[in-house]
Amino acid sequence: MSRILVVDDEPAIGWSLRERLAEDGHAVEVAASAEAALETCGRFAPDALVLDVRLPGRDGLAALPDLRSLAPAARIVVMTAFGDLDTAVRALQAGAFDYLVKPFDLERMATVVARALADAAPADGASCRTRAPASGAHLVGTSPPMQEVFKQIALVAPTDLPVLITGETGTGKELAARAIHAHGPRAAGPFLATSLAALAPSVIESELFGHVRGAFTGATADRQGLFELAAGGTILLDEIGEAPPEVQVKLLRVLEQREITPVGSAVPRPVDVRVIAATNRDLTAAIGAGGFRGDLYHRLNVFPIVLPPLRARLDDVPALVAWFRDRFSDAAPQVGAAFLAALRERPWPGNVRELRHAVEYACTVARGAALEPDHLPPAAAGEPRATGSATDAALAGAVRAWIAARWPASGAEAGDLHGELVGLVETALAEEALARTAGNRTAAARILGVDRATFRAKLER
């Protein structure tokens, strides 16, 4: 039996966590403030703390150092309903074992606590500390998918692991890379970003690895490449899927041997640089088609981060609009409810980048007046608004096509088309709901309109 201290000022949450964790045989006490938690730590000696950030008086993160001094071996799980990137980084810097966003499934919390108890606690939070957060890398959002991204950035930033950031065009892959750099131990070093798709195949090796005098026509002097220029810092290789085969071989050597060989030279040079790669392509499909090396993929994909498309985080639209408006318009026009509703109806194939341009356009047209739907630019050709009738019609068409492909030739054979189709739909619903709620089963079940126990049973099936 382990001792667990829950620190939360909401009685319902404290009670629920105490009951659920007690089911696993733990001794659980609840404190409603940081001050009460410090008093309890002195006599209870918890093996784990479940700590809320927003508390009356002193907040949870501010109290973390004192709590650790009273219970140095305790694992700490931080929870909050108001998380952002800085909150996630602060929590992990202070030595938190994990970071959960409310609302969360009680089963998920129980699993995290079990992992925390099974893992040996360090004497202090040094292994999780990084430099103080730097400004300049702004990822805006509070939706569950973005909370998961913030947590992943906070986890990987203090390390030197290669990171592969994937996501559709315009989702903010470079911003995520800059945030990893800014919150890591290389923050004082350079951050260099290059798009491999924008470099001509004839110069890409020279740009990345440099060249020596006489290496080719026009090479009148030695020239450092981006890897050497980024020494002590971070290099972002955007559109990594566009790297030619010969460059992929050299990149693999950089990752495995931490050295580069300039064009025209036979002498390798050591490099000290963190590598982050980004792509909007499916690299696993490219591997299957022979267009990308599997060994390079696995060296880059040590810590993957997937950025959600804007359509999966529409709750962030108001915050994103306010952010872009404040940076584009000195007048800071009001944002009408109809304007936000119109934004939520669009499909946004260009994601956050397209939204930014739409807000800039609207601010220009509105000339200081409140932003309204008629201030938006027209939807691009071939990109109809994502109205309910259009999406419903598309779904109905897909179902008809599926039935046509599966319908027996005789029309009278026994089968279970209904069960197969329902199974496919339920699987897609469950996967999409979990993706959009960052794995929060309780939130996913509520949005789908099913009982949590029923949803859990469906997931098990």
Encode pLDDT of 316-353 as tens digits: 898 899 888 888 767 678 888 888 888 988 888 899 99
CA distance 17 to 366: 50
Beta bridge partners of residue 192, listed in sequence order: 235
Would you tell me how many other CB atoms lie within 10 Å of the CB of residue 384? 12
Q: What is the pLDDT of residues 163-207, one digit of tens each?
A: 999 999 999 999 999 999 988 889 888 898 888 887 776 678 888
What tokens appear for 49 in the block? 């703390």
Backbone angles phi, psi at 316, to 5 degrees: -85, -5
- The answer to whether residues 46 and 74 touch, using CB atoms and an 8 Å cutoff, is yes
75 beta partners: 48
What is the pLDDT at residue 392?
61
- The number of residues making up the chain comes to 461
Kindly state the average pLDDT of the residues 11-18.
89
390 pLDDT tier (thresholds 50, 70, 90) = very low
* Residue 137 reports pLDDT greater than 60: no
Exposure string over 18-43, b if 16+ CB within 10 A, otherwise e: bebbeeeebebbbbbbbebbbebbee
pLDDT at res. 94? 75
Structure tokens at 73: 């071996």
Q: Residue 2 above 70 pLDDT?
A: yes
Dist CA 145 CA 438 (whole Å): 5
Residue of 157, 108, 121, 149 whose CA lies nearest to 49: 121
Q: Over range 416-426, report the average pLDDT.
A: 81
Domains, the chain, ranges and CATH?
Answer: 3-128 (3.40.50.2300), 144-306 (3.40.50.300), 311-375 (1.10.8.60), 405-460 (1.10.10.60)
**Is the pLDDT reported for residue 27 higher than 70?**
yes
Query: 392 to each of 149, 164, 271, 389, how far by Cα in Å?
Result: 31, 35, 54, 5
| 259 membership: H or E segment, kind and range | strand 259-260
Q: Distance (Å, rounded) from C-alpha 438 to C-alpha 453?
A: 19
pLDDT for the residue numbered 128: 31
Q: For residue 126, what pLDDT is reported?
A: 33
What is the per-residue pLDDT across 233-289, written as a single tens digit (0 to 9) for each? 999 999 999 888 888 888 888 888 888 878 777 778 888 999 999 999 889 988 988
Query: Do 83 and 58 meet the contact criterion of CB atoms below 8 Å apart?
Result: no
The confidence score (pLDDT) of residue 131 equals 33
**pLDDT, averaged across the chain:** 81
Residues with Cβ < 8 Å from 192, sequence gap 6 or more? Answer: 226, 229, 230, 233, 234, 235, 236
> Mean pLDDT over residues 382-403, rounded?
59
Find where tokens 């798709």 sit. Answer: 197
**Inter-residue contact 76 to 96 (CB < 8 Å):** yes
Instruction: Using the predicted structure, report yes or no on whether residue 218 has a pLDDT greater than 70.
Output: no
Q: For the whole prediction, is pTM greater than 0.85?
A: no
